[in-house]
Chain A
Amino acid sequence: MATQHSRSAARLMIAPAVFVLLVWMLIPLCMTLYFSFADYRPMRATFEPWIGFDNYVSFVTSSSFTNSVITTLQMVGGILCITIAGGIALALLLDQPIFGQGVVRILVIAPFFVMPTVSALVWKNMFFNVDNGLFSYLYKALGLQPYDFLSQAPVFSIVVIVAWQWLPFATLILLTAVQSLSSEQLEAAEMDGAPGWARFWYIILPHLSRAITVVILIQTIFLLSVFAEIFVTTNGAFGTRTLTYLVYQRVLESQNIGLGSAGGIIAVILANIVAIFLMRIVGKNLDN
């Protein structure tokens, strides 16, 4: 039972976190908001503090906006699918008694430590490159025409890179969940003659649902802001411009801070809609 005393102590303890995040939210975000209504183009030495909703209108009506939203959804969705499916498979595999479990676990989680720039550079040059990449050698060894991943399957290529980095995270969380599964239940099902897929579908998967939602939530937050991987590999070409990348292009390449800021605000709003939607699910899942 929380007393009055502990309640005010609690408030005091939360205060610093709330305070710094508020400052973080308020100052840069308010400045962004302010710029988003301004015609601010430093290269032209233009600064007009109020032009109404012009920036918002031109950001949303530009031909690239809808495409970038679709690309974002494809990319995030693709990465989530791969990491979750792969993560469940790996978690079940790592749960088996094997020789050298510790070493295998180290191998599997290693990609999580690699910085995005490095992994994008390595994948782009040493694997996807059509002249000197390993995949090309593999294709040639199999007697096939080398495949140019980055221009023929650009979104897929980036999904592969990012999924490779996030697979360990999903695996680790799902592994903890798998390990908490009671073996009696599984054994009972096995005795009853339930086939492997049924055990998976009716016992394991429901047990993992909570972990899966957590993975979706945390990863989505990070995946919406994927930037380095696109910047390094395709520079936004071949339809790989996500919303984040489009904002980048407006701000840094076109040097239109007003327009970019409006894009940033729109991105925050859209991301929060997704987040609220996710939170509802997770919140429900976490309460019961």
Chain B
Amino acid sequence: MKLERAFFAATAIVSVAATAAMAQSDATTLTIATVNNGDMITMQGLMDDFNEKHPDINVEWVTLEENVLRQNVTTDISTGGGQYDILTIGTYEVPIWGANGWLVPLDDLPAEYEVDDIIPAIRDGLSVDDTLYAVPFYGESSFTMYRKDLMEEAGLEMPDAPTWEFIRDAAAKMTDRENDVNGICLRGKAGWGENMALLTAMSNSFGARWFDEDWNAQFDSEAWSNTLNFYLDMMEESGPAGAANNGFNENLTLFQQGKCGIWIDATSAGQFVVNDDSTVAEHVGFAQAPDTGLGKRGNWLWAWSLAIPTSSENVEAAKTFLTWATGPDYGELVANEKGWVAVPPGTRSSLYENENYTGAAPFADMTMASMNTADPNNPTVDPVPYTGVQFVAIPEFQGIGTQVGQQFAAALAGQQSAEDALAAAQELTNEEMEAAGY
């Protein structure tokens, strides 16, 4: 009895407190969970414009590092949501969460939003059965960034569409470890969104795949062995020390400091390698991601996107925010503050027809070309039962991808051979898939 009464008393206090908190403001408050990437931080700096247009909407930011963001957002949504009104998630989560009915469908966006302007491949990736569940804030494929000056010194010229053999050869020639120049920088840090994004996309160009049509793991295939061995050998010849700890951000820093000859990574890095932080800005050239002549290039497709969970009580206000943040006018807003080069890339086709942008962003054409060749519905040489270029769009992938990534990172750190890493990956993937009921 006592317990029950205490419990009721406690709930009463809490609900009084909650009502009091709500009564404080008439304006709608949106809570937005977002990742601490440069483009998002720029957006937070532009809030004056939004507040001016929509004085009745307050925006609260929860800006977190990517891994912590995932922890928070996933915990929230899978326990019924309620903490956030807008989530920043990627092309991996959107189809899964959309299909689970956790996201508000965005098929009624106003005409001036010009939804058809969004790059088709991205729009596809954010839709389930042709219903849009999230809008892209910035999109990316992957491409090759290289130092023209070092290439020239090595007596080479980068073709627009290089092969992996060429990259390896060029990297070896540029490497000058005495002077702290590494021919190639690639992701090595374990994680499904870190080294596995690169390696999965790379494996596609080597003719490998994650699963065959019956969902059997394919790490015992020759194609995977070729991929991993090629990657490990190349990194040993020309990669930086400590590559196994380098993710996107670490490699970006290395490249900006002039310590990399070639860096194959996200097209969204384009604006950062040519900005003021970069000591090599004037020497950077861009090319497509490499291939091996099998018909697939190792370039992925990703978009950090904004979605509204169905648990949100402020869906209309949230939609207003989405149309502002990803709408056709946002680009110009950024351009006025920070210059055209800083406009979030990879979401709207019109941006790539805008001469202000293509004039300011030397990576624009190559970005568009890369985005157009990535095909999530048809990512591999051999047929597969899944979609996604650098990921497998099933809920289990997050866990499996990271664990496989850890095996490969350990191989890169020299703690095990490529064969052992592949065998371990094969075993754990099958183990997990079996547990998941495939």
Contacts and interface: CB of A to CB of B under 8 A. Distances in A.
A associates with B: yes
Interface of A: 41-45, 58, 62-64, 129-132, 145-146, 148, 150-152, 231, 234-239, 249-250, 252-256, 259
Contacts of A252: 70-71, 74-75
Given A64-B428, A151-B409, A256-B399, 16 more contacts: A43-B78, A43-B395, A58-B431, A130-B242, A130-B245, A148-B244, A151-B242, A234-B245, A235-B189, A236-B190, A237-B406, A237-B409, A238-B409, A253-B402, A255-B395, A259-B435
Contacts of A64: 403, 428
B226 to A, nearest CB: 23
Contacts of B333: none
Nearest to B72: A252
Given A43-B395, A45-B100, A63-B427, A238 B244 contact: yes
11 contacts: A43-B395, A45-B100, A150-B242, A150-B245, A235-B191, A236-B402, A238-B415, A253-B398, A254-B396, A254-B398, A254-B399
A236 B405 CA distance: 10
A226 to B, nearest CB: 17
A145 B428 CA distance: 35
Nearest to B406: A237
B410 A239 contact: yes
B74 A131 contact: no
Contacts of B413: 148, 151-152, 238
A129 B396 CA distance: 32
Contacts of B75: 252
Q: Please report whether the interface of chain B is mostly helix, strand, loop or mixed according to DSSP.
A: helix
B190 A249 contact: no
Contacts of B432: 254
Contacts, number: 109
A251 B402 CA distance: 13
A288 B118 CA distance: 76
Choose among A131, A236, A239, A259 the residue with the greatest number of B CB atoms under 10 Å from its CB. Answer: A131
Contacts of B427: 63
B428 A41 contact: no
Contact of A148 (B245, B253, B395, B410): B245
Contact of A146 (B67, B241, B259, B395): B241
B100 A43 contact: yes
B67 A239 contact: no
A34 to B, nearest CB: 15
Nearest to B190: A237
B43 interface: no
B254 A131 contact: yes
A58 B100 contact: no
Contact of A131 (B240, B398, B414): B240
